[in-house]
Structures are given as C-alpha cells and as structure tokens.
Amino acid sequence: MRAAYSMTIITILSFTSGCLTVPISDICEDENCFDFSVESFSNLLSQENAFDIISYSQLYPQLRVEAYLVSEQQSQRGEIYWNVAKDEESGLSSISSRLVLGESIIIDNEYIEGNETNNYRVGNEWYEGRDQITGYSNPFIKLAKSAAENPDGFWPPFAFNTNDISNLDWTISVDLTSNQLVATAINQTHSIYVETRGIPPVIVAIETYSDTDNFILKVSTENVSISINNGFIRAPAPFILNPDPIVNDDNLTYWSGIISDTLSIDINPDELEIHGLTVNGSNATSIISMRLDLKAANFTIDDGSWWEFNWVDYLGENLVSNGDIYTVRTNSTGNLSIAIYDLWAETWTDMVF
C-alpha cells in the first residue's frame, strides 16, 4: 500500500504537554531495553520496515490505522482519509474511505464485514447487507493484495519509509510512566512528528506539516471494537442484469450473461427472482418470474407466449455468486426487458442509492 505525495513543510508541530525531556545515558544490555536516546531512536527509524502496517496487523489482534492527507496547490484543495480496522475478538473488519476534491465529495463510504450480516455506509446513510459465505479476513492484507493487483487504484497511504528521516536532528521528549516517546525534527521541506509507545518501542504515529499539505498516520493497537448493527435499510444484491437482449426478432428475444465480479458476496438463490418485463416509456411491468433456486423453468402466460429461464450455478455451491450464468428466452413481442428482484431486501437490484 504505497502512495507518493509531495509535501513541503515549514512549521513545527507543538508538543503535547506533560512530556519531560529526559536524556538517559544508561547502557541497555537487554535486547528488550530501550534507552530513549536520540541515537537509539535514529537506529529504530533506520531499521528496515520499522513502520510496517502489515506486520502490525499480524502481530496485534486489534488494530486501527488512520491516514489523513490534505493538499492545497494553487487554490485547489484535495483531502484523502482512510480508517481501516480489525477486531479478531468479534471476527469483524472495517474499511472507511473519503476523497474530497475542492468542494465535491467523490468517495465517502464504510464497510463492516465478517458475519452473515454486514453493514455499509454511503455518505451519511447506513445499510444492512448479507453474505452467506462468511469468515473474518485481515483487511490490511486484503488491501495490500488489491493494491498490488491494481496499483493505479485508490488505496490507503499506509507506507512510510522511516529510514529517509532517521538522520535528522531530533528533539525527544519522554513520558516514562507510559513509555511514550515524542520526537520532532525539521528537514528542508517538512516539520515531522513521530510518536512511539512501549518497550521495545512501537511507532504509533507519524505526522508531517507544511503550508501546502498535512499528512497524519496513526495506529491504535487496543480498545478497537467493531460491531454489526441490525435494523438499517436492507440493501439489494449489488448486481444488475444487462437489459439489452442478444437476439431480438419477430420469433425470439434472448438474453444471456455472466454475473461479474461486481457481485462480491454469495446469496441464497431463494432470495432472488429473475423477471421478464414489458416496458412502456419509463415504466416497467413484470410479466413473469422465476425464483433462482428453481434453476430452470418454462412458463406459458395468458396470451399464449412462453418464457424460459435458466440459472447455472457455476461453482455448484447452491449460492448466487460471480461467475454464475443466466439465460432468458421468450417468444413474447413488444418492448421487453429483464431484471432481478431481491426478496430479502424487497426491492429491485437496480435501485439507485
């Protein structure tokens, strides 16, 4: 999860009150000892992967990482915010992101998953979703894998090469009661703040500031609680059939397609119906339908025409998922279309949020 940002820093971050500067000169011989000296701190920063979010996510059962970047260039403002968390005790993970360009919010969503019921937010509205194949997965590893597969995508800026700042002239403050270290320094372009906690120390915050941009990266390794709420608006299955037929002549109208990767969940087939529709302007009326657990059916309607439906369960697990194939054929005439109705959500899947 790497991101490149131009940062030009000229101001110094104020210290948190209550920290005392304590130059400790005692020599540490225990490998778990840390003498809180500038030299030891610089050595910590120079270590490879000293601030490695993936390693943190494998070490701590609870973890939350927040990244915040604000950049202003020639009166143009951009804002990126990520909040990614995992809670192995509840078996849940949460991913939240926001992208603002100028006065426009481009992305603002959150997704909580791990159970059959999941929650997600679009803007200020929360929805309830579902997934029949459940199981907790490390969201940090999942994001890292997705970023490696699609490096040009929108991913959290969770990487920071601390070796680049290890040789700065650091000023260190320490609170020995909590084993908290706060260090500040200035290079040619940045004012930089680093916080560590514990012995041996773990980097839990890096912040950089300037006139044109601010960057904050914070880590929490305890008191990270994630939960699922029921009672939100039920969201329909996130896939829409192609309404345009492959064949459309006087004798036959035919649709066929593959459910794409846009359906990232697995759904019980008895919760979904595939409908044949007649369309009149902006209005559509259902003529006939088949619940997907029937898999195949042929119906004759009142005017004597027939409709044939097929759903092919590609993986054979009796769940609707990406890769499944649907076909619909009819000899009905008129302006026709097809759509999916979600019985669980009690709405069509092409509902616009």
Domain range for 299 is 236-348
Reported as a pLDDT band with limits 50, 70 and 90, residue 24 is very low
| Mean pLDDT computed over 43-68 | 95
| Model pLDDT, residue 35 | 84
Claim to verify: residue 250 and residue 211 sit in the same structural domain? no
Task: Mark whether 91 and 170 lie in a shared domain.
Answer: yes
Q: Are strands 125-130 and 171-175 parallel, antiparallel or unpaired?
A: unpaired
Same domain, 202 and 258: no
Average pLDDT of the residues in 279-304: 94
Cβ pair 328, 276 in contact under 8 A: yes
Which pLDDT band holds residue 66 (cuts at 50, 70, 90)? very high
pLDDT at position 20, please?
30
Q: What pLDDT, in 10s, does the model give residues 121-148?
A: 999 999 999 998 878 899 999 999 999 9
Asked if pLDDT for residue 2 goes beyond 60, the answer is: no
188, 332: one domain? no
In a domain, 48, yes or no: yes
Confidence of residue 262 (pLDDT cuts 50, 70, 90): low
DSSP string, 15-78: PPTT-B-----PPP-STT-----HHHHHHHHHSTTTT-HHHHHHH-SEEEEEEEEEEEETTEEE
Question: Is 206 a member of any domain?
Answer: yes
Is it the case that residue 7 has pLDDT exceeding 70?
no
End-of-domain residue from the set 179, 195, 220: 220
Q: How far is CA 76 from CA 73, 101, 208, 213, in A?
A: 5, 8, 19, 11
- Say if residue 180 is in the same domain as residue 287: no
- Beta-carbon count within 10 A of 32 CB: 8
Q: Are strands 347-348 and 336-342 parallel, antiparallel or unpaired?
A: antiparallel
Number of domains into which the chain is organized: 2
pLDDT for residue 281 is more than 70: yes
Residue 61's domain is classified under what CATH number? 2.50.20
Tokens of 191: 């004012």
In a domain, 27, yes or no: no
**Residue partners of 316: CB distance under 8 A and separation at least 6:** none
- pLDDT of 67-88, one tens digit each? 999 998 888 899 999 999 999 9
Instruction: Tell me, yes or no, whether 207 and 99 share the same domain.
Output: yes
Structural domain ending residue among the three candidates 185, 220, 255: 220
Report the mean per-residue pLDDT for the chain. Answer: 87
pTM: 0.79
Describe the strand order of the beta sheet including 253-258 as a list of residue ranges.
Answer: 247-248, 253-258, 325-330, 306-312, 296-300
| End-of-domain residue from the set 176, 196, 220 | 220
For residue 214, CA distances in Å to 104, 133, 205, 206 come to 19, 40, 13, 11
Give the tens place of pLDDT for each residue, 223-243. 999 999 999 999 999 888 988
Instruction: Supply the DSSP symbol for 235.
Output: P
Overall average pLDDT of the 155-179 stretch: 93
Q: Does 200 have pLDDT greater than 90?
A: no
Record the tokens describing residue 253, joined without a space: 């109208």
